[in-house]
Amino acid sequence: MMIDGLDDASIRRILITTRRIALVGASANPARPSNEVLGFLLRRGYDVTPVNPGLAGQTLHGRAIAASLDAAAPLEMVDLFRASDKVMPAVRDTVRLGAKIIWMQLGVINREAAAIARDAGLIVVMDRCPVIETARLGLR
């Protein structure tokens, strides 16, 4: 079992049923993982809004970049490309905006933020990448 406690069936359900995602920490640099994941999710048919206040108003993979999660709402899932010690504000915003899932990318582990999200009824995925999980689970 992974650090987030979720089994394969839970991850599969998230990846199959979720459609509306905000990707926090989107980068215009094609060498950055957040850029690659954004492109992957869009190619898979997800409705993804990149979020980065420093790039707000620009486009990335044909999508307008939002300055904040508020500007990206409504949401089902928030995918966090932030340092572990920097995720709390985005987690609090995600709870406030009524999203159902927080997805913390590989290496992003914040147990306090996860507890806050879970206490608010959100599903928390932690230390995983949707690209890797999609391939691992054989999802098409």
Residue 69 within any structural domain of the chain: yes
Q: Give the other-Cβ count within 10 Å of 29's Cβ.
A: 8
**Residue 57's pLDDT band (cuts 50, 70, 90):** very high
pLDDT at 40: 97
Residue 105 tokens, joined: 């990318």
What tens digit of pLDDT does each residue of 14-49 get?
Answer: 999 999 999 999 999 999 999 999 999 999 999 999
What tens digit of pLDDT does each residue of 68-112 get?
Answer: 999 999 999 999 999 999 999 999 999 999 999 999 999 999 999
Residues 7 and 25 in one domain: no
The SS3 call for residue 78 is: strand
Residues 9 and 51 in one domain: no
pLDDT at 1: 63
Q: Which domain holds residue 115?
A: 1-18+108-127
Residues 36 and 9 in one domain: no
pLDDT at 2: 83
pLDDT at 94: 97
Strand order in the sheet with 47-51: 47-51, 20-24, 77-80, 101-104, 123-125
The SS3 call for residue 127 is: coil
Average pLDDT over residues 120-127: 98
Residue 103 within any structural domain of the chain: no
Residue 52: closest CA among 66, 42, 33: 66
Say how many domains are in the chain: 2
From residue 99, how far is each of 3, 18, 104 by CA, in Å?
A: 21, 11, 14
Residues 46 and 67 in one domain: yes
Residues 50 and 3 in one domain: no
Residues 9 and 30 in one domain: no
